[in-house]
Structure 1
Amino acid sequence: MLFNDLFWERWRTILVRGDDEPEYIPAGDETGCHRVVFAHGYFASALHEISHWCIAGERRRQLHDYGYWYCPDGRTREQQAAFESVEVKPQALEWLFSEAAGVTFNISVDNLSGDGACDEAGFRRKVARQARGYLETGSLPPRGRLFLETLLTFYDREVVFGAHLFTPDRERSAI
Protein backbone atom coordinates (compact mmCIF):
# COMPACT_ATOMS: atom_id res chain seq x y z
CA MET A 1 0.00 0.00 0.00
CA LEU A 2 2.72 2.50 1.01
CA PHE A 3 4.85 1.78 -2.06
CA ASN A 4 1.93 1.85 -4.49
CA ASP A 5 0.49 5.05 -3.05
CA LEU A 6 3.89 6.72 -3.23
CA PHE A 7 5.14 5.61 -6.65
CA TRP A 8 2.16 4.81 -8.86
CA GLU A 9 1.28 8.24 -10.17
CA ARG A 10 4.74 9.61 -10.96
CA TRP A 11 6.61 6.39 -11.89
CA ARG A 12 3.72 4.11 -12.91
CA THR A 13 5.19 1.37 -10.73
CA ILE A 14 3.44 -1.03 -8.37
CA LEU A 15 4.57 -3.61 -5.84
CA VAL A 16 3.04 -7.05 -6.43
CA ARG A 17 3.10 -10.22 -4.35
CA GLY A 18 4.45 -13.10 -6.44
CA ASP A 19 4.13 -16.84 -6.06
CA ASP A 20 7.68 -17.67 -7.02
CA GLU A 21 10.97 -15.86 -7.52
CA PRO A 22 11.11 -12.07 -7.24
CA GLU A 23 11.52 -10.10 -10.44
CA TYR A 24 11.10 -6.68 -12.00
CA ILE A 25 8.82 -6.44 -15.02
CA PRO A 26 8.96 -3.17 -16.95
CA ALA A 27 5.84 -1.73 -18.54
CA GLY A 28 5.22 -2.80 -22.08
CA ASP A 29 2.38 -5.26 -21.79
CA GLU A 30 -1.34 -4.78 -21.32
CA THR A 31 -0.93 -3.51 -17.73
CA GLY A 32 0.82 -0.28 -18.74
CA CYS A 33 2.77 -0.23 -15.51
CA HIS A 34 6.08 -1.41 -14.14
CA ARG A 35 5.86 -4.20 -11.56
CA VAL A 36 8.19 -4.95 -8.68
CA VAL A 37 7.32 -8.54 -7.82
CA PHE A 38 8.36 -9.86 -4.40
CA ALA A 39 8.51 -13.52 -3.37
CA HIS A 40 5.75 -15.41 -1.57
CA GLY A 41 4.42 -12.42 0.36
CA TYR A 42 7.58 -12.06 2.44
CA PHE A 43 8.01 -8.55 3.82
CA ALA A 44 11.81 -8.85 3.64
CA SER A 45 11.59 -9.82 -0.04
CA ALA A 46 9.41 -6.78 -0.71
CA LEU A 47 11.91 -4.46 0.98
CA HIS A 48 14.81 -6.04 -0.93
CA GLU A 49 13.10 -5.72 -4.30
CA ILE A 50 12.04 -2.15 -3.51
CA SER A 51 15.69 -1.39 -2.72
CA HIS A 52 16.79 -2.55 -6.16
CA TRP A 53 14.05 -0.44 -7.77
CA CYS A 54 15.05 2.65 -5.77
CA ILE A 55 18.65 2.34 -6.98
CA ALA A 56 17.97 1.47 -10.63
CA GLY A 57 18.31 4.36 -13.05
CA GLU A 58 15.87 5.20 -15.84
CA ARG A 59 17.57 2.98 -18.42
CA ARG A 60 17.73 -0.04 -16.09
CA ARG A 61 14.06 0.38 -15.16
CA GLN A 62 13.20 -0.29 -18.82
CA LEU A 63 14.85 -3.75 -18.67
CA HIS A 64 13.52 -7.00 -17.22
CA ASP A 65 15.17 -7.48 -13.80
CA TYR A 66 17.01 -4.22 -14.52
CA GLY A 67 19.24 -6.11 -16.96
CA TYR A 68 21.14 -7.81 -14.13
CA TRP A 69 22.52 -11.32 -14.43
CA TYR A 70 21.84 -13.81 -11.72
CA CYS A 71 24.14 -16.68 -10.94
CA PRO A 72 22.44 -19.19 -8.61
CA ASP A 73 23.68 -20.62 -5.34
CA GLY A 74 27.01 -22.42 -5.72
CA ARG A 75 29.03 -19.47 -7.05
CA THR A 76 32.80 -19.44 -7.37
CA ARG A 77 34.91 -16.88 -5.49
CA GLU A 78 34.94 -14.59 -8.54
CA GLN A 79 31.18 -14.90 -9.07
CA GLN A 80 30.56 -14.27 -5.36
CA ALA A 81 32.75 -11.16 -5.42
CA ALA A 82 30.76 -9.84 -8.40
CA PHE A 83 27.47 -10.61 -6.61
CA GLU A 84 28.56 -8.83 -3.45
CA SER A 85 29.80 -5.79 -5.37
CA VAL A 86 26.32 -5.18 -6.79
CA GLU A 87 24.47 -6.16 -3.60
CA VAL A 88 26.13 -3.80 -1.10
CA LYS A 89 23.98 -0.79 -1.96
CA PRO A 90 20.60 -2.54 -2.23
CA GLN A 91 21.18 -4.50 0.97
CA ALA A 92 22.22 -1.31 2.77
CA LEU A 93 19.03 0.35 1.58
CA GLU A 94 17.01 -2.72 2.58
CA TRP A 95 18.55 -2.51 6.05
CA LEU A 96 17.50 1.15 6.33
CA PHE A 97 13.97 0.23 5.26
CA SER A 98 13.88 -2.68 7.72
CA GLU A 99 14.93 -0.48 10.64
CA ALA A 100 12.42 2.17 9.58
CA ALA A 101 9.66 -0.45 9.66
CA GLY A 102 10.92 -1.97 12.92
CA VAL A 103 11.62 -5.41 11.44
CA THR A 104 14.69 -7.60 11.57
CA PHE A 105 17.15 -7.37 8.69
CA ASN A 106 19.22 -10.38 7.68
CA ILE A 107 22.24 -9.99 5.45
CA SER A 108 22.22 -12.32 2.45
CA VAL A 109 25.34 -13.68 0.80
CA ASP A 110 22.98 -15.94 -1.16
CA ASN A 111 25.61 -18.65 -1.69
CA LEU A 112 25.04 -21.44 0.79
CA SER A 113 26.60 -24.20 -1.29
CA GLY A 114 29.44 -22.23 -2.88
CA ASP A 115 33.10 -23.13 -2.72
CA GLY A 116 33.73 -21.34 0.56
CA ALA A 117 33.84 -18.03 -1.28
CA CYS A 118 31.74 -16.13 1.25
CA ASP A 119 33.16 -13.77 3.80
CA GLU A 120 29.85 -13.02 5.47
CA ALA A 121 31.40 -10.87 8.21
CA GLY A 122 33.31 -8.82 5.63
CA PHE A 123 30.19 -8.38 3.51
CA ARG A 124 28.20 -7.36 6.61
CA ARG A 125 30.82 -4.68 7.38
CA LYS A 126 30.55 -3.30 3.83
CA VAL A 127 26.76 -3.20 3.99
CA ALA A 128 26.82 -1.52 7.42
CA ARG A 129 29.34 1.07 6.18
CA GLN A 130 27.15 1.79 3.13
CA ALA A 131 24.00 2.14 5.27
CA ARG A 132 25.71 4.61 7.62
CA GLY A 133 27.17 6.42 4.62
CA TYR A 134 23.75 6.86 3.06
CA LEU A 135 22.58 8.61 6.22
CA GLU A 136 25.72 10.55 7.13
CA THR A 137 26.36 11.95 3.65
CA GLY A 138 22.74 12.34 2.59
CA SER A 139 23.49 10.23 -0.49
CA LEU A 140 20.34 8.13 -0.47
CA PRO A 141 18.85 7.62 -3.93
CA PRO A 142 15.89 10.05 -4.25
CA ARG A 143 13.21 7.34 -4.46
CA GLY A 144 14.91 5.54 -1.56
CA ARG A 145 14.75 8.70 0.53
CA LEU A 146 11.03 9.11 -0.24
CA PHE A 147 10.28 5.52 0.74
CA LEU A 148 12.42 5.69 3.87
CA GLU A 149 10.67 8.86 5.04
CA THR A 150 7.28 7.25 4.33
CA LEU A 151 8.20 4.15 6.37
CA LEU A 152 9.55 6.23 9.26
CA THR A 153 6.35 8.25 9.41
CA PHE A 154 3.99 5.28 8.96
CA TYR A 155 5.72 3.20 11.64
CA ASP A 156 6.38 6.25 13.88
CA ARG A 157 10.11 5.51 14.13
CA GLU A 158 11.72 8.90 13.48
CA VAL A 159 12.84 9.28 17.09
CA VAL A 160 14.74 5.96 17.32
CA PHE A 161 16.18 5.96 13.80
CA GLY A 162 19.75 6.99 13.02
CA ALA A 163 23.19 6.00 11.76
CA HIS A 164 24.04 4.46 15.16
CA LEU A 165 21.80 1.50 14.28
CA PHE A 166 23.98 0.33 11.41
CA THR A 167 26.96 -1.55 12.80
CA PRO A 168 28.10 -5.02 11.70
CA ASP A 169 27.33 -6.60 15.08
CA ARG A 170 23.78 -5.23 15.08
CA GLU A 171 22.70 -6.54 11.67
CA ARG A 172 20.19 -9.09 12.95
CA SER A 173 18.47 -7.02 15.60
CA ALA A 174 15.66 -4.57 15.10
CA ILE A 175 14.34 -2.35 17.89
Structure 2
Amino acid sequence: MFNDVDTIRPFDRLHGVPCRGHDSGDLMVLFDRTFLRPYRTCLRGGADEPLYEPAQGRDDVHTIWFTRDYFASALHEVAHWCVAGPARRQQRDYGYWYAPDGRTSDQQAEFERVEVKPQSLEWLFSEAAGWRFRPSADNLEAELGPSPAFCQAIVEQVHAYCRRGVNARAEAFLASLSAFYGTARDVRSLLSPERFAGDVVA
Protein backbone atom coordinates (compact mmCIF):
# COMPACT_ATOMS: atom_id res chain seq x y z
CA MET A 1 0.00 0.00 0.00
CA PHE A 2 2.59 2.55 1.12
CA ASN A 3 6.27 1.94 0.61
CA ASP A 4 7.90 5.23 1.55
CA VAL A 5 7.08 8.49 3.22
CA ASP A 6 7.65 10.21 -0.13
CA THR A 7 4.35 8.72 -1.33
CA ILE A 8 2.52 11.06 1.05
CA ARG A 9 0.71 13.81 -0.79
CA PRO A 10 2.38 17.25 -1.04
CA PHE A 11 2.07 20.01 1.54
CA ASP A 12 -1.04 22.10 1.52
CA ARG A 13 -0.54 25.77 2.26
CA LEU A 14 -2.28 27.94 4.84
CA HIS A 15 -1.54 31.68 4.83
CA GLY A 16 1.65 30.92 2.90
CA VAL A 17 2.93 28.45 5.54
CA PRO A 18 3.34 24.76 4.67
CA CYS A 19 0.90 22.58 6.59
CA ARG A 20 -0.47 19.07 6.46
CA GLY A 21 -4.01 17.86 6.21
CA HIS A 22 -5.07 14.88 8.29
CA ASP A 23 -5.23 11.58 6.45
CA SER A 24 -4.97 8.26 8.24
CA GLY A 25 -2.96 6.93 5.31
CA ASP A 26 -0.15 9.26 6.37
CA LEU A 27 -0.19 7.73 9.83
CA MET A 28 0.18 4.26 8.35
CA VAL A 29 3.22 5.40 6.39
CA LEU A 30 4.82 7.09 9.39
CA PHE A 31 4.14 4.16 11.70
CA ASP A 32 5.44 1.54 9.28
CA ARG A 33 8.53 3.57 8.51
CA THR A 34 9.25 3.85 12.23
CA PHE A 35 8.29 0.41 13.54
CA LEU A 36 7.91 -2.19 10.80
CA ARG A 37 11.52 -3.33 10.83
CA PRO A 38 12.48 -3.06 14.50
CA TYR A 39 9.15 -4.33 15.89
CA ARG A 40 7.68 -6.32 12.95
CA THR A 41 4.49 -4.31 13.44
CA CYS A 42 2.33 -2.46 10.94
CA LEU A 43 -0.65 -0.11 11.20
CA ARG A 44 -3.70 -0.71 9.00
CA GLY A 45 -7.16 0.84 8.67
CA GLY A 46 -10.43 -0.36 7.21
CA ALA A 47 -11.58 -2.46 10.17
CA ASP A 48 -15.15 -2.43 11.48
CA GLU A 49 -13.72 -2.52 15.00
CA PRO A 50 -10.17 -1.88 16.22
CA LEU A 51 -8.07 -4.99 16.84
CA TYR A 52 -4.49 -6.00 17.55
CA GLU A 53 -3.42 -9.24 15.87
CA PRO A 54 -0.02 -10.71 16.79
CA ALA A 55 2.06 -12.36 14.09
CA GLN A 56 1.17 -15.98 13.35
CA GLY A 57 4.65 -17.04 12.31
CA ARG A 58 8.22 -15.93 11.78
CA ASP A 59 7.42 -14.52 8.35
CA ASP A 60 4.31 -12.69 9.53
CA VAL A 61 4.01 -9.26 11.16
CA HIS A 62 1.96 -7.96 14.06
CA THR A 63 -0.94 -5.79 12.88
CA ILE A 64 -2.69 -2.90 14.58
CA TRP A 65 -6.11 -2.44 12.99
CA PHE A 66 -7.97 0.85 13.45
CA THR A 67 -11.56 1.69 12.56
CA ARG A 68 -12.21 2.50 8.91
CA ASP A 69 -10.13 5.56 7.96
CA TYR A 70 -10.61 7.40 11.26
CA PHE A 71 -7.58 9.50 12.14
CA ALA A 72 -8.37 9.54 15.87
CA SER A 73 -8.86 5.77 15.92
CA ALA A 74 -5.41 5.28 14.41
CA LEU A 75 -3.79 7.48 17.06
CA HIS A 76 -5.72 5.74 19.82
CA GLU A 77 -4.73 2.24 18.71
CA VAL A 78 -1.08 3.21 18.41
CA ALA A 79 -1.31 4.57 21.96
CA HIS A 80 -2.57 1.18 23.20
CA TRP A 81 0.31 -0.53 21.42
CA CYS A 82 2.80 1.84 23.03
CA VAL A 83 1.41 1.08 26.49
CA ALA A 84 1.43 -2.71 26.00
CA GLY A 85 4.54 -4.56 27.16
CA PRO A 86 6.28 -7.44 25.31
CA ALA A 87 4.07 -10.19 26.77
CA ARG A 88 0.87 -8.28 26.00
CA ARG A 89 2.00 -7.72 22.41
CA GLN A 90 2.10 -11.49 21.87
CA GLN A 91 -1.64 -11.78 22.60
CA ARG A 92 -4.69 -10.94 20.51
CA ASP A 93 -5.97 -7.55 21.62
CA TYR A 94 -3.16 -7.61 24.19
CA GLY A 95 -5.06 -10.24 26.19
CA TYR A 96 -7.61 -7.78 27.52
CA TRP A 97 -11.30 -8.52 27.91
CA TYR A 98 -13.42 -5.83 26.33
CA ALA A 99 -16.94 -5.01 27.50
CA PRO A 100 -18.98 -3.76 24.53
CA ASP A 101 -20.99 -0.55 24.29
CA GLY A 102 -23.73 -0.46 26.89
CA ARG A 103 -21.47 -1.03 29.92
CA THR A 104 -22.80 -0.63 33.44
CA SER A 105 -21.50 2.20 35.63
CA ASP A 106 -19.12 -0.24 37.39
CA GLN A 107 -17.83 -1.56 34.07
CA GLN A 108 -17.45 1.99 32.84
CA ALA A 109 -15.39 2.92 35.89
CA GLU A 110 -13.03 0.01 35.16
CA PHE A 111 -12.86 1.03 31.50
CA GLU A 112 -11.83 4.55 32.50
CA ARG A 113 -9.20 3.21 34.91
CA VAL A 114 -7.38 1.25 32.19
CA GLU A 115 -7.86 3.95 29.54
CA VAL A 116 -6.04 6.78 31.34
CA LYS A 117 -2.57 6.00 29.96
CA PRO A 118 -3.66 5.17 26.38
CA GLN A 119 -5.81 8.29 26.11
CA SER A 120 -3.06 10.40 27.65
CA LEU A 121 -0.65 9.18 24.98
CA GLU A 122 -3.33 9.77 22.37
CA TRP A 123 -3.50 13.40 23.50
CA LEU A 124 0.27 13.71 23.08
CA PHE A 125 0.08 12.12 19.63
CA SER A 126 -2.79 14.42 18.70
CA GLU A 127 -0.76 17.45 19.76
CA ALA A 128 2.17 16.23 17.68
CA ALA A 129 -0.13 15.81 14.68
CA GLY A 130 -1.98 19.12 15.10
CA TRP A 131 -5.20 17.21 15.74
CA ARG A 132 -7.82 18.06 18.37
CA PHE A 133 -7.99 15.45 21.11
CA ARG A 134 -11.27 14.49 22.75
CA PRO A 135 -11.44 11.95 25.59
CA SER A 136 -13.68 8.99 24.81
CA ALA A 137 -15.99 7.07 27.12
CA ASP A 138 -16.77 4.67 24.23
CA ASN A 139 -20.21 3.98 25.70
CA LEU A 140 -22.80 5.73 23.55
CA GLU A 141 -25.54 3.20 24.20
CA ALA A 142 -25.49 3.82 27.95
CA GLU A 143 -25.24 7.59 27.34
CA LEU A 144 -22.28 7.80 29.70
CA GLY A 145 -19.77 10.44 28.67
CA PRO A 146 -16.27 10.76 30.11
CA SER A 147 -16.51 11.46 33.82
CA PRO A 148 -14.86 14.59 35.25
CA ALA A 149 -12.54 12.34 37.28
CA PHE A 150 -11.47 10.52 34.11
CA CYS A 151 -10.75 13.77 32.29
CA GLN A 152 -8.74 15.04 35.25
CA ALA A 153 -6.78 11.78 35.43
CA ILE A 154 -5.84 12.19 31.75
CA VAL A 155 -4.61 15.74 32.40
CA GLU A 156 -2.53 14.59 35.35
CA GLN A 157 -1.03 11.67 33.40
CA VAL A 158 -0.14 13.93 30.47
CA HIS A 159 1.63 16.31 32.86
CA ALA A 160 3.48 13.32 34.33
CA TYR A 161 4.63 12.35 30.84
CA CYS A 162 5.80 15.92 30.30
CA ARG A 163 7.88 15.76 33.49
CA ARG A 164 9.23 12.22 33.20
CA GLY A 165 9.11 11.49 29.49
CA VAL A 166 7.50 8.59 27.63
CA ASN A 167 8.79 5.16 26.63
CA ALA A 168 10.98 4.61 23.57
CA ARG A 169 8.17 3.61 21.20
CA ALA A 170 5.95 6.54 22.14
CA GLU A 171 8.90 8.91 21.83
CA ALA A 172 9.78 7.57 18.38
CA PHE A 173 6.20 8.05 17.16
CA LEU A 174 6.03 11.55 18.65
CA ALA A 175 9.24 12.41 16.82
CA SER A 176 7.85 11.11 13.52
CA LEU A 177 4.56 12.97 13.95
CA SER A 178 6.03 16.29 15.03
CA ALA A 179 8.58 16.23 12.21
CA PHE A 180 5.97 15.40 9.59
CA TYR A 181 3.32 17.87 10.77
CA GLY A 182 5.80 20.58 11.78
CA THR A 183 4.35 20.99 15.26
CA ALA A 184 7.55 21.04 17.34
CA ARG A 185 11.32 21.21 16.95
CA ASP A 186 11.75 17.98 18.87
CA VAL A 187 10.01 15.76 21.41
CA ARG A 188 11.38 17.70 24.36
CA SER A 189 9.80 20.94 23.17
CA LEU A 190 6.58 19.06 22.39
CA LEU A 191 6.36 17.71 25.94
CA SER A 192 5.90 21.15 27.43
CA PRO A 193 3.29 21.41 30.21
CA GLU A 194 2.19 24.76 28.77
CA ARG A 195 0.84 22.95 25.71
CA PHE A 196 -1.49 20.98 27.96
CA ALA A 197 -2.36 23.66 30.51
CA GLY A 198 -6.11 23.56 29.89
CA ASP A 199 -8.63 20.88 30.71
CA VAL A 200 -9.50 18.27 28.12
CA VAL A 201 -12.87 18.89 26.48
CA ALA A 202 -15.22 15.93 26.37
The TM-score, its normalising length taken from structure 2, stands at 0.78
Aligned to 1:134: 161
Contact 1:7–1:13, Cα closer than 8 Å, also in 2: yes
Contact 1:125–1:168, Cα closer than 8 Å, also in 2: no
Contact 1:101–1:152, Cα closer than 8 Å, also in 2: yes
- Tell me the CA shift for residue 30 of structure 1: 8.8
- In the alignment, the residues of structure 2 paired with residue 112 and residue 29 of structure 1 have an alpha-carbon distance, to the nearest angstrom, of 37
Report the identity percentage. Answer: 47
Residue 169, structure 1, aligned to residue 196, structure 2: no
Question: SS of the residue aligned with 1:72?
Answer: coil
Residue 68, structure 1, aligned to residue 96, structure 2: yes
Runs of 5+ unmatched residues, structure 1: none
- In the alignment, the residues of structure 2 paired with residue 135 and residue 64 of structure 1 have an alpha-carbon distance, to the nearest angstrom, of 30
Question: SS of the residue aligned with 2:60?
Answer: coil
With CA pairs under 8 Å and 6+ residues apart, which has the higher RCO, 1 or 2?
A: 1
Aligned to 2:38: 10
Aligned to 1:23: 51
Residue 84, structure 1, aligned to residue 121, structure 2: no
Task: Report the AA paired with residue 34 of structure 1.
Answer: H
Aligned to 1:150: 176
Task: Report the AA paired with residue 149 of structure 2.
Answer: G
Question: SS of the residue aligned with 2:45?
Answer: strand
Aligned to 1:100: 128
- Tell me the CA shift for residue 170 of structure 1: 4.5
- Tell me the CA shift for residue 75 of structure 1: 1.4
Over the aligned positions, Cα root-mean-square deviation in angstroms equals 2.0
Q: 1:39 to 1:85 in 2, by over 3 A?
A: same
Contact 1:121–1:168, Cα closer than 8 Å, also in 2: no
Asked which structure has the greater CA Rg, the reply is: 2
Task: Report the AA paired with residue 157 of structure 1.
Answer: T
Deviations 1:113-148, CA, capped at 9 Å, x for gaps: 3385x552221111111111111112x122011111
